[in-house]
Amino acid sequence: MADYLVGQDAISVHRKTTTAGVADSVTFAGRRLTAEVTNWSAADDAVLFFTVDGSDPAVDGDRTTALGPGGIVEVEDRRRSNDTLIRLVSAVPVTYSVTAAAYR
């Protein structure tokens, strides 16, 4: 598992790669209202699964958002926490970026 901490003066982690079946965590110090998750991989099976509420993501999980190859999605952190935590997992290695889009 890789844990990335994005300081209050930074906005993103770029081009990180998951290890199949192992969750990565991206924590933004300070509350960020929205974040953009990008899946840079191109292979058909390179699907990235993630949560924004700090819960453990699961491949094909019912409470997990799936992002296909080449996809970009903006997500909202609805928790009332001081930090924003995004957790990501995949069945195969997937290259991704997570960027804060709005601050609070």
Report DSSP letters for the chain, one per residue: --EEEE-TT--EEEEEEPBTTB-EEEEESS-EEEEEEEE---STT--EEEESSSPPP-TT-TTSEEE-TT-EEEEE--S--SSEEEEEEESS--EEEEEEEEE-
66-99: per-residue pLDDT in tens? 999 999 999 988 777 788 889 999 999 999 999 9
43-73: per-residue pLDDT in tens? 999 999 999 988 999 999 999 999 999 999 9
Kindly state the percentage of the chain with pLDDT values over 90. Answer: 71
pTM value?
A: 0.92
Average pLDDT, the chain: 92
User: Which CATH architecture is the domain 3-103 placed in?
Assistant: Sandwich (2.60)
Domain residue extents for the chain: 3-103
Higher pLDDT, residue 9 or 32: 9
